[in-house]
């Protein structure tokens, strides 16, 4: 069975799959990233995991993987296959594509940014399927974005496209590790809501999910914390839709798990802010934590399609 290897590398865990030509996840596996052992050990872990998947495919499916796709966090030079920087993994300028190709017998390898890769999957086979223009925004520890255009995701001239989490929505506000003050992710990420709710309720263990439950029960402090986050998010999203004019706005990540506790006030807040702009559909992400693996698989299949077309051209 023809298949590709897909790897989604996160700060704490790695998800992997063998993906068929129809997008089916033939085999799935997970393991810790092991960042506490240092960046060298993380890279070794990725290579070992990919090699195990390669062997599994040969032994169980009767054929080696045709290509591999890997999604990683941080700054990614997709064109040259280099994982340039990731604060949570501690690496710099890792030639990951070259290392993986060497370990996997020279098969083609595609490297992608984790959020853009997840956005690629949501756009093609998830919540944005059929939309010619979409914006995917996962609300997790931070906030990033993937700009979808006609079935592909725009990386930008330097690989920074879609960094909506660092749009300033509260000038002079909370300092951000990026060096600015008042960035969107300091107010509307799952981590920011967790921090604000823990302070408001006096429980250092409380998180965004607890805040959402308290909102649903009518707790006025929770409603205040939640609405402040929703207002900041709406401000950032309206800036993005003014610039990008997406047909569909896909919200994912941990905060989106609150369902209509998030989406009802968010749709209202965005609607109140638009003037001349066209209001996009605002929908929850559909693929959950499989988006990264599915997207990495799509990157690998795209790479094979591109290679096949080059070989067929006169």
My answer on whether 256 and 308 are in the same domain is: no
Q: Where are the alpha helices (DSSP H) in the chain?
A: 39-61, 96-103, 114-125, 185-188, 190-201, 208-216, 220-244, 260-273, 291-312
Instruction: Quote the tokens at residue 267.
Output: 């749709």
Taking only the tens of pLDDT, the chain with its 314 residues reads 899 999 999 888 999 999 998 888 899 999 999 888 999 999 999 999 999 999 999 999 999 999 999 999 888 898 899 999 887 788 999 999 999 999 999 999 999 999 999 999 999 999 999 999 999 999 988 899 999 999 899 988 888 899 999 999 999 999 998 899 999 999 999 999 999 999 999 999 999 999 999 999 999 999 999 999 999 999 999 999 999 999 999 999 999 999 999 999 999 999 999 999 999 999 999 999 899 999 999 999 999 887 665 555 55
My answer on whether 14 and 156 are in the same domain is: no
Examine residue 46 and state whether it is found in any structural domain, yes or no: yes
What digits encode the pLDDT tens for the residues 184-204?
999 999 999 999 999 999 999
My answer on whether 57 and 181 are in the same domain is: no
pLDDT confidence of residue 157? 87
Examine residue 124 and state whether it is found in any structural domain, yes or no: no
Examine residue 123 and state whether it is found in any structural domain, yes or no: no
Residue 234: which of 163, 178, 172, 164 has the closest Cα? 164
My answer on whether 99 and 167 are in the same domain is: no
pTM of the full structure? 0.90
CATH number at residue 200: 3.30.420.40
My answer on whether 171 and 275 are in the same domain is: yes
Examine residue 293 and state whether it is found in any structural domain, yes or no: yes
My answer on whether 67 and 216 are in the same domain is: no
What digits encode the pLDDT tens for the residues 40-99?
999 999 999 999 999 999 999 999 999 999 999 888 898 899 999 887 788 999 999 999
Examine residue 269 and state whether it is found in any structural domain, yes or no: yes
Q: At what angle do helices 260-273 and 208-216 cross, to 10 degrees?
A: 80
Examine residue 122 and state whether it is found in any structural domain, yes or no: no
Examine residue 138 and state whether it is found in any structural domain, yes or no: yes
My answer on whether 145 and 108 are in the same domain is: no
DSSP secondary structure letter of residue 268: H
In a 3-state reduction of DSSP, which class is residue 87? coil
Please state whether 276 falls in left (phi above 0), alpha (psi between -120 and 50) or beta.
Answer: alpha
Question: Are the CB atoms for 282 and 249 separated by under 8 Å?
Answer: yes
My answer on whether 164 and 51 are in the same domain is: no
Look over the chain and give the mean of its residue pLDDT values, rounded to a whole number. Answer: 93
Question: Are the CB atoms for 144 and 115 separated by under 8 Å?
Answer: yes
pLDDT confidence of residue 124? 93
My answer on whether 158 and 301 are in the same domain is: no
My answer on whether 59 and 133 are in the same domain is: no
My answer on whether 40 and 189 are in the same domain is: no
Examine residue 62 and state whether it is found in any structural domain, yes or no: yes
CA distance 203 to 207: 9
In a 3-state reduction of DSSP, which class is residue 240? helix
Structural domain boundaries enclosing 41: 3-117+289-312
- Count the domains in the chain: 2
My answer on whether 10 and 92 are in the same domain is: yes
């Amino acid at each position: 069975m023809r298949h590709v290897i897909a790897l989604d590398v996160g700060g704490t865990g790695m998800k992997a799959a063998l993906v068929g030509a129809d997008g089916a996840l033939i085999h799935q596996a997970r393991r810790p990233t092991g960042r506490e052992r240092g960046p060298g050990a993380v890279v070794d872990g990725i290579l070992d995991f990919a090699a195990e998947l390669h062997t599994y495919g040969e032994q169980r499916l009767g054929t080696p993987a045709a290509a591999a796709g890997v999604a990683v966090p941080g700054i990614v030079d997709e064109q040259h296959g280099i994982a340039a920087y990731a604060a949570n993994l501690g690496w710099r300028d890792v030639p990951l594509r070259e290392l993986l190709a060497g370990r996997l017998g020279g098969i083609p390898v595609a490297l992608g940014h984790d959020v853009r890769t997840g956005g690629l999957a949501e756009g093609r086979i998830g919540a944005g399927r059929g939309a010619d223009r979409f914006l995917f925004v996962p609300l997790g520890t931070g906030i990033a974005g993937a700009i979808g255009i006609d079935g592909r995701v725009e990386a930008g001239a330097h690989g920074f496209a879609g960094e909506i989490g660092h749009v300033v929505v509260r000038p002079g506000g909370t300092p951000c590790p990026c060096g600015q003050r008042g960035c969107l992710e300091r107010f509307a990420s799952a981590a920011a809501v967790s921090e604000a709710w823990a302070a408001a309720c006096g429980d250092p263990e409380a998180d965004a999910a607890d805040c959402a439950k308290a909102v649903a029960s009518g707790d006025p402090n929770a409603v205040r914390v939640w609405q402040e986050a929703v207002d900041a998010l709406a401000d950032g999203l309206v800036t993005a839709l003014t610039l990008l004019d997406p047909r569909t706005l896909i919200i994912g990540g941990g905060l989106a798990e609150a369902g209509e506790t998030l989406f009802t006030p968010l749709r209202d807040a965005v609607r109140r802010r638009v003037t001349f702009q066209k209001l996009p559909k605002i929908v929850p992400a559909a693929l959950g934590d499989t988006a990264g693996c599915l997207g990495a698989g799509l990157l690998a299949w795209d790479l094979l399609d591109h290679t096949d077309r080059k070989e067929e051209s006169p």
